[in-house]
Amino acid sequence: MKIIRYIIDIAVPALTAYLASSDTLIQSLIKHNILSRSFNVRTFQDVCLIINILFTTILLSARLIMHESKEESYKKQIAGLYNVIKQFLQSNLAQISGNSNISFDLRIFVPEQNIWRKIKTLLGSSKEKWFVIRNIEPFARKDITEHLKFRVDPEEQGLVGSAYSSKSIVYDDHLPDTNSTGYSLDQAQINRTSNLLWSICIPILNEKNEVVAIMAIDSGTSQLDIAGNKDEIRTLTNTLAVMMRDSVPELFRGEVSFRW
229-248 pLDDT, tens per residue?
A: 989 999 998 888 888 888 78
- Cα four-point dihedral sign 109, 226, 170, 88: negative
Cis peptide before 111 (omega within 30 of 0): no
Higher-confidence residue: 257 or 188?
188
C-alpha radius of gyration, the chain, whole number: 29
As a whole number of Å, the end-to-end CA separation of the chain is 53
Task: Give the CA dihedral 74, 77, 78, 84, nearest 10 degrees.
Answer: 180
User: What is the structure's pLDDT at 119?
Assistant: 65
The pLDDT mean for the chain works out to 83
> How large a percentage of the chain has pLDDT more than 90?
24
Q: Does pLDDT of 7 surpass 80?
A: no
Crossing angle of helices 41-97 and 230-247, rounded to 10°: 170
Helix (H) or strand (E) holding 199: strand 198-205
| DSSP symbols for 116-133 | HHHHHHHHTS---EEEEE
